[in-house]
Amino acid sequence: MTRSIENFEPERLEQALAARGFSAVELAARIGTASTTISRWRNKAQFPSGDMLEKLAAELRVSPEWLTRPLYQGPARPYFRGSIAQMKADRALLGARLHWLDEVAQQLEQYVDYPIVNVPSISASRLNEITDADIEQAAEACRSLWGLKDGPVADVLLLLENAGVIVAREETGTPRIEGLSSWNRTGRPLVLLCADKGNAYRSRFDAAHELGHLVLHRNIEAPADAAAHKLMESQAHRFAGAFLLPSRGFSAEVASPVTLQGLLFLKKRWGVSVGAMIMRLVALGMIGDSDYLRLIKLRSAKWGNKQEPNDSDREPETPRLLRRTVDLLEQEGVVTADALSSLFGLSPRDVESLLGLPFGFLSLPKADVLELVLKRRDASLDVQAVASLEGRTGTVLSFEKPRGRP
């Protein structure tokens, strides 16, 4: 009989159960034990043996060592893009993955300096303090801070990452929740977008919506009641419209009378769905209730409520920052890509998904397998070497040294 693993961390087990969507009963059946045993592990009344730790790790697709790591303080309770009535398990799953994204990003930040956080925020501490005018001004201030004029945003995710936001976009199996965001304990913002629907126009709006939460609600805790959640969502929604469709630039291009065909023409230029443009026209006071109802009913009759023409003519934007961090560290000999799974304690597929690596990059066999070596950081990494990656991964993000750091 093997000895008990007394440095086992029940919080890691809780997190992995949420991330995999397993119940304690299901996990117990998978590893051949009683659900009461799982309960005792969770409340520290008992510790698993070495053999059971191996079985736990295999079923949860983490390393045994990961289950013994102390659980660090994760990000604040996230803002969810969707109804608060969504299944509790879905929210728990996404919350766990956001926690993993934060932990992975912080581990990589030991070797490089990410862009300085440059996301504005307003001082409101209550939702009812935020007016429509405040939201419009906040969106304009954000565009101004990032050097945008009155035209379309070319790449929302690139803007977020250049402003120091950690972004991941992955298929989660929870299409009813389109994204979530939070601030971590070091003051860096996080955004996790759900890629299950694969619509580039909706994904851009989802990203701008999460930016709205980061800007408007930094000093407001994510609410637990449905009414407050609905108000918070409507505020982030309005911010997304104002950020992607600025009043001066967008309104100047809308022909009168407003038609679906005219908005469809603008869809490709602005990268925003016709439905979102209709809502923006209402917010700007450019159409009244009768025109709104006419356009919405006609849109539903012609296209339905879930898709529009030309939805597939644009590829979804993809995060770059973490993937290029890995490229840089591999080039500098700090870590080989194949060692990442061991470093993070997560499955190769999880690492691919969180870091934006191609499917199979780590999880499928390679013809030539090199010895995996993780080198300790002995000196500051010359982050300007990232420029030499140009051509391998596209436009390179600059990694600036944050002020006040050695």
| Confidence tier at 223 by pLDDT (50, 70, 90) | confident
Share of the chain above pLDDT 90, in %: 75
Please give the CATH superfamily to which domain 10-68 belongs. Answer: lambda repressor-like DNA-binding domains (1.10.260.40)
Q: Output the pLDDT for position 395.
A: 34
d(CA 94, CA 395): 29
Beta bridge partners of 275: none
d(CA 381, CA 175): 39
Q: Where are the domains of the chain?
A: 10-68, 79-303, 321-389
Instruction: Say if residue 124's pLDDT is above 90.
Output: yes
pLDDT tens sequence across 337-360:
889 999 999 999 999 999 999 888
d(CA 42, CA 37): 9
Q: Output the pLDDT for position 294.
A: 96
pLDDT tens sequence across 41-85:
999 999 999 999 999 999 999 999 999 999 888 898 898 876 665
CB atoms < 10 A from the CB of 383, how many? 18
**Residue-wise burial string across 344-372, b where 16 or more C-beta atoms lie within 10 A, e elsewhere:** bbbbbbbbbbbbbbeeebbeeeeeeeeee
Query: What's the helix, strand, coil split of the chain in %, to 5?
Result: 50, 5, 45
| Confidence tier at 86 by pLDDT (50, 70, 90) | low
Cβ atoms 381, 405 nearer than 8 A: no
Cβ atoms 308, 273 nearer than 8 A: yes
Query: What does the pLDDT average to over 133-150?
Result: 97
259 token code pair: 């038609």
Residue whose entry in the numeric block shows the structure tokens 């010895």: 371
219 token code pair: 């000093």
Instruction: Say if residue 107's pLDDT is above 70.
Output: yes
Instruction: Say if residue 144's pLDDT is above 80.
Output: yes
pLDDT tens sequence across 381-406:
333 333 333 333 333 344 443 333 33
Distances (CA, A) of 127 to 176, 214, 220, 229, 232: 24, 13, 7, 10, 7
d(CA 18, CA 328): 32
Q: Output the pLDDT for position 363.
A: 81
Query: What does the pLDDT average to over 280-296?
Result: 97
Query: What does the pLDDT average to over 145-150?
Result: 96
Instruction: Say if residue 161's pLDDT is above 70.
Output: yes
Does this model's pTM top 0.85? My answer is yes
